[in-house]
A and B are shown apart, each in its own frame.
Chain A
Amino acid sequence: GENVEQHPSTLSVQEGDSAVIKCTYSDSASNYFPWYKQELGKGPQLIIDIRSNVGEKKDQRIAVTLNKTAKHFSLHITETQPEDSAVYFCSVTTQGGSEKLVFGKGTKLTVNP
């Protein structure tokens, strides 16, 4: 089945710096790549997504890039703020009969003031 690797597992940055989280996937047929943010005591919240016909998407301080050939995609957060501290999950749709989301193991981002 689909396998999603996410790195790093923890990331600590200074306020104002950029943060980059990377994911790789195995199923070349996957075509939808959402990113979720999970704060303590809450469920995951969709922050940005990208589809396979797009190479990059940006929403204010958050951007996602996708390289379908290499089967990897990345989340970029610029000008980080303390409220960006959370666990971030990448995810990928599977295809071929059992359509579902498969998640990476998560990255705990800490933004230090």
Chain B
Amino acid sequence: KAGVTQTPRYLIKTRGQQVTLSCSPISGHRSVSWYQQTPGQGLQFLFEYFSETQRNKGNFPGRFSGRQFSNSRSEMNVSTLELGDSALYLCASSLNRGAGTGETQYFGPGTRLLVL
């Protein structure tokens, strides 16, 4: 069974631009979570989607948004990029209830975003 895939793997943008990242979960998985990973803040939860609905949200500004499609694929969008948005963005999928309820979560390789 294929793992979680994320595209693109690398991205360079300039301040003020917007970016869209894509995630395809493991086949059959319905819950998708997004995390931001930086050297200073570590792994921080962005949001979680299940059945096309946002189920949980972390403490990030409204510039960070996401959505999930009927096939469980998910996208996240960051508008008005800032230098501090440079990070590795990780997507993770789980079967149904999400990692917050003790369900095993599987991570993708991430998208490395550099904002200049």
Contact = CB atoms under 8 A, between A and B. Distances in A.
A45 B110 CA distance: 12
A16 interface: no
A105 B100 contact: no
A113 interface: no
A87 B58 CA distance: 23
Contacts, number: 62
B101 A99 contact: yes
A17 B102 CA distance: 31
B102 A93 contact: yes
B64 interface: no
Contacts of B109: 41-43
A22 B50 CA distance: 32
Contact of A43 (B100, B101, B107): B107
A41 B108 CA distance: 11
Given A41-B109, A45-B107, A46-B105, A99 B42 contact: no
B104 A103 contact: no
Contacts of A36: 107
B90 interface: yes
Contacts of A93: 99-102
A102 B107 contact: no
Interface of B: 4, 33, 42-45, 48, 56-58, 90, 92, 98-102, 104-110
